[in-house]
Structure 1
Amino acid sequence: MAETTRIEGIAAPLLIDNLDTDQIMPKQFLRTITKEGLDKGVLFDLRFQPDGSAKPDFVLSRPEYRNAKILVCGPNFGCGSSREHAVWGLQQLGIEAIIASSFGEIFFSNALNNRLLLIVLAPDKIALLLQALDISNHQLRIDLETMQVRCGSHVFNFTLSERHRKMIVKGLDMVGATLQLLPQIEAFENGHVAACSWARVLSSVSNIDGNAE
């Protein structure tokens, strides 16, 4: 992926407290063996009528928010069961960052490990941000170099671990971040095998009694 130092675009308010992963990605969309098409399941019961038509009063169905890249959410967003599909679906829907006063712990790890930026701001800062969005045509900018959220004349500082910041800026998921350390991994493996010859992986196949053939 290309490097990203700034996320900028429309921010939509999704002000539902304790919005859990079962609601973000309902169970019927977990049967796929690939990541494809998960955007259709995101917030399905909130977004769609029983006949499949969009609910016009839902925030992401409104014309001004249909191309939102950022969500400003209620507290404890992503609580509930562990399902990485919730993160993948949000990304497929075009969401690049979520701002809330708190997140479910497992969702928080899943999101950042998949390069979905999560920003924690205090509740009073969230309230100010929502007010600023109302007068800025819903436009928001997140700067990953200065670690700031900017909306109109308002600036909000946030923190992020250096590992997660680097992953988002460099376009790395967990596999990509691990491969960045491949020379160190290989050096450790070679040194360990040299010091502990018994740790070598044998090419022989063991029989049912555990004896090498």
Structure 2
Amino acid sequence: MDKFTTLTGVAAPLPMVNVDTDMIIPKQFLKTIKRTGLGVNLFDEMRFDDDGNEKPDFVLNQPAYRDARILVAGDNFGCGSSREHAPWALLDFGIRCVIAPSFADIFYNNCFKNGILPITLPQEDVDKLMDDAERGANAVLTVNLEDQTISGPDGGKIAFDVDPFKKECLLNGLDDIGLTLKNETAIGRFEESYSAQRPWA
């Protein structure tokens, strides 16, 4: 998993509440267990019409936001089913940070496990960032995980809270497998000892 330290990029505004995981990545695209390749189908039903043509009014189809790295969204983002494909699709598209007033718990935790930083802020702060995000190509935010701050295009800063353990994992690029491998030497010693004491096992 890639480390998350400081992220500077265009922020796309998505002022919708209750964006569920089926909107993020519709169920027909859940046939893969690979974490890559899902970005093309991110928000598929909102991005494309029935003929597969882009809907020009959807934010991520607009030229200024095609390379967005940050998403500023509404309340209860990531609700619905617990599919891990949702953060996979966001990450594959290039989104590394989602900012919203609240998240569904499972989606929130899945983001950290896949290298995405979900930031929960009071509605008034989200409104300010949403206003910044609506500036198009000038909607550049800088998210500093170490300092736990978001800097807007006018230089203003907003502080955010994050769980210390989850923060440490993101800063060091550690997912569940990476955390386990930190103890690889101790695990190896245990396996050798266990095998020596129980050769029949």
| TM-score of the aligned structures, taking structure 1 as reference length | 0.85
Matched letter for residue 8 of structure 1: T
TM-align CA RMSD: 2.3
Matched letter for residue 149 of structure 1: I
Matched letter for residue 202 of structure 1: W
Matched letter for residue 182 of structure 1: E
Percent identity over the alignment?
A: 40
Aligned length: 199
* CA shift in 2, pair 1:131/1:79, >3 Å: same
Cα distance, 1:180 vs structure 2: 1.4
The Cα offsets for residues 62-118 of structure 1, whole Å up to 9 and x where unpaired, read as: 111111000000010000101001111110000010000100111011111111110
Give the structure, 1 or 2, with the largest relative contact order (CA under 8 Å, sep 6 or more).
2
Q: Quick one: distance in 2 between partners of 1:86 and 1:116?
A: 11
Higher mean C-alpha deviation, range 144-153 or range 62-71: 144-153
Cα distance, 1:55 vs structure 2: 0.4
Residues 59-138 of structure 1: pairs in structure 2 closer than 5 A: 59-134=59-134, 137-138=138-139
Structure 2 residue matching 1:31: 3-state secondary structure? coil
Gaps of 5+ in 1: 204-213
* CA shift in 2, pair 1:186/1:54, >3 Å: same
The Cα offsets for residues 21-70 of structure 1, whole Å up to 9 and x where unpaired, read as: 01111110011242332112211000001100110000000111111000
Q: Quick one: distance in 2 between partners of 1:134 and 1:29?
A: 30
Residues 1:178 and 2:163 aligned together: no
Q: Quick one: distance in 1 between partners of 2:114 and 2:158?
A: 24
Q: Name the structure 2 match of 1:202.
A: 200
Q: Quick one: distance in 1 between partners of 2:33 and 2:6?
A: 32
Matched letter for residue 19 of structure 2: L
Is contact 2:133–2:139 with CA below 8 Å preserved after alignment? yes
The Cα offsets for residues 144-175 of structure 1, whole Å up to 9 and x where unpaired, read as: 11110110232111111222212222222211
Q: Quick one: distance in 2 between partners of 1:201 and 1:55?
A: 64
Q: Quick one: distance in 2 between partners of 1:45 and 1:90?
A: 15
* CA shift in 2, pair 1:113/1:33, >3 Å: closer
* CA shift in 2, pair 1:134/1:52, >3 Å: closer
| TM-score of the aligned structures, taking structure 2 as reference length | 0.89
* CA shift in 2, pair 1:33/1:191, >3 Å: closer
Gaps of 5+ in 2: none
Q: Which has the larger radius of gyration?
A: 1
Residues 1:148 and 2:149 aligned together: yes
Is contact 2:73–2:98 with CA below 8 Å preserved after alignment? yes
